[in-house]
Structure 1
Amino acid sequence: MLPVPGAEIAYTVRGSGPPLLLVNGGDGDAAMYAPLARLLSEVCTVVTYDPRGNSHSRLTGPSEAQWIEQHAQDARLLLDEVAAGEPAYVLGTSYGAMVGMDLVARHPDRVRALVAHEPFVVGLLPDAERWHGFFQEVYEQYRREGTEAALRRFAAAVGVEGPPEPAEHHPAPVREMLARIHANAETALAYELRSFVRFRPDVEALRAAPLTLVVGGEGPRTLLHRTTEALALHVGAGITDFPGGHVGYLTHPADFAAALRGVFGL
């Protein structure tokens, strides 16, 4: 556990070699990265963690709106704890990609290279205000009808399937992970979604950063493909297809690990 302002961050370290930080998106926790982390720990010191307010990372301050910049500070403090000043490779997915972008923009000396997987930078879209209005409606539906109804509406509009319900045919660790993720969804709807999508990346800093933008090339086209394309236009970068869809790191861990090693030169 790492104490940070307003929270305690639960983290896991695997392997040895140059540090590699894996940053979750949405309602995920460190267990979603476990298959990928085990593979990458052959060549790296892999750090995974539960974002503040999710799973084992409890809040020590009041429950209130969270911000990407706050999560990026958590990531920096975690690197201070485990990397001993050595710059880290970073993979961030969805919200986690935005955390990685803020981290590299504010602390370029701490990031050796960043892979941003389907960053949810809605604010860069020409119809951003329409989406902000929609996310407010999702929040209001959550307040009226509960988490599941709001998540179904969100998933249908964005084009990304939500996690399945825990079931008896799942192995026990998977059931436990899915139960945590479903519990985390309430935090995501109440305190993350509307504030996180207001994040505006430092485009000038990202143009000079060691940044690779990637999307899941095997899934359906989603809103996150649009946001990644918008960011690519702003920073003058190309986009690389990675295995699987939005959670390709979990569904295709071996192929995803190989693609990530290729980008990082590991």
Structure 2
Amino acid sequence: MNPTSTTPVTARTLEVPGARLHFEVRGAGSLVVLVGAPMVAAAFAPLADLLAAGHTVLTTDPRGVGASVLDDPAQDSTPELRADDLARLITHLDAGPAVVFGSSGGAVTALALAQARPDLVTKVIAHEPPLVELLDDRAEMRKQTEDLVAIYQSGDVLGAWRKFFGDAGIELPEQALEQMFGGDRDPAQVADESFWFNHEIRGSTFWQPDLERLRAVSARLVIGIGETSTGQTCDRTSRALADLLGLTPTMFPGDHTGFVGEPDIFDHRLRAVLGD
């Protein structure tokens, strides 16, 4: 949660098949879901606080990450499982159908939800889904991901993150890498990182959307791209998806996680997309 916020937040747990999901609810009005993968609820808190003026906002830790605990810690996280989790959360709140804003792996989750349960969504905003299988160089991208996981599993954490950002086309100074991923680290952060590399990254990036089903609900889909993400992998994958669906990408402020760095500006743009 946002420690500087005065917006009332209710934190709860929902039992779902194979997991106990941590989720948070704030505000009142039509339901908006903010979801990442592996990004947890806390990362969305500043934006959620702003959106809570006029909306009920649901955020959640995706299964296996943060406070959402798996019965089997070795179970892989797939877009289908995470979409089913979202469907159960929306149904549990009895406040749907919902607008779902998904970022990165969470955008893949949101697309999987649109395919499986279109009755639960009024609009899905997929912000920079990393769907490398849609690219012409998919074989090379898949190999890069497998190499990335192998480097992490060898124990070279900094090397894995260095390769991750390099493959993604994101420039990050070495000093920043060492500050974020070197030295003594929070054990919970390390556990989430390990789960992502070992059990989540492949499922999210190698996922192949059902284009026929998505085209059937394309009027409810928005493919979002950060204005400063030009040339990055997720810019390429998002444009590829938009082209396959016959949609024009919608630009949002900032980069891959622009809602974290500039939540006020991002809120303004998101509300315009929602028609607030």
TM-score when normalising by structure 2? 0.87
Q: Which amino acid aligns with 2:207?
A: F
CA distance in 1, matches of 2:166, 2:189: 18
Greater mean alpha carbon deviation, residues 202-211 or residues 89-98: 202-211
Q: How does 1:48-127 map to 2 (within 5 A)?
A: 48-82=59-93, 84=94, 86-127=96-137
- 233, 258, 266: which is aligned to 2:268? 258
- Alpha-carbon deviation of 1:156? 1.2
Q: What is the total number of aligned residue pairs between the two structures?
A: 255
Structure 1 vs Structure 2 CA RMSD:
2.0
> Are the aligned partners of 1:147 and 1:186 in contact in 2 as well (CA < 8 Å)?
no
2:25 matches 1:13 = yes
Q: How does 1:124-163 map to 2 (within 5 A)?
A: 124-160=134-170
- Alpha-carbon deviation of 1:141? 0.8
2:54 matches 1:43 = yes
Q: Which amino acid aligns with 1:189?
A: F
- Alpha-carbon deviation of 1:143? 1.2
Task: Spell out, residue by residue over 1:142-175, the C-alpha distance to the aligned partner (whole angstroms, 9 max, x if none).
Answer: 11124332122111111236786469xxxxxxxx
CA distance in 2, matches of 1:181, 1:241: 30
Task: Spell out, residue by residue over 1:209-253, the C-alpha distance to the aligned partner (whole angstroms, 9 max, x if none).
Answer: 200111110345310000001101110000111001011011010
CA distance in 2, matches of 1:180, 1:42: 31
CA distance in 1, matches of 2:44, 2:34: 7
**Structure 2 stretches of 5 or more lacking a match?**
1-12
Q: How does 1:225-264 map to 2 (within 5 A)?
A: 225-264=235-274
> Are the aligned partners of 1:120 and 1:197 in contact in 2 as well (CA < 8 Å)?
yes
Task: Spell out, residue by residue over 1:52-74, the C-alpha distance to the aligned partner (whole angstroms, 9 max, x if none).
Answer: 11111111124132211111111
- Alpha-carbon deviation of 1:86? 2.3
TM-score when normalising by structure 1? 0.90
Task: Spell out, residue by residue over 1:176-196, the C-alpha distance to the aligned partner (whole angstroms, 9 max, x if none).
Answer: 9x8754542111101011222
Q: Which amino acid aligns with 2:55?
A: C
> Are the aligned partners of 2:40 and 2:65 in contact in 1 as well (CA < 8 Å)?
yes
Residue equivalent to 1:221: 231
Q: Which amino acid aligns with 1:126?
A: D
CA distance in 2, matches of 1:106, 1:140: 32
2:183 matches 1:212 = no
| 2:154 partner SS | helix
> Are the aligned partners of 2:47 and 2:260 in contact in 1 as well (CA < 8 Å)?
yes
Q: Which amino acid aligns with 2:216?
A: A
- Alpha-carbon deviation of 1:6? 1.2
Same amino acid, percent of matched pairs: 34
2:212 matches 1:184 = no
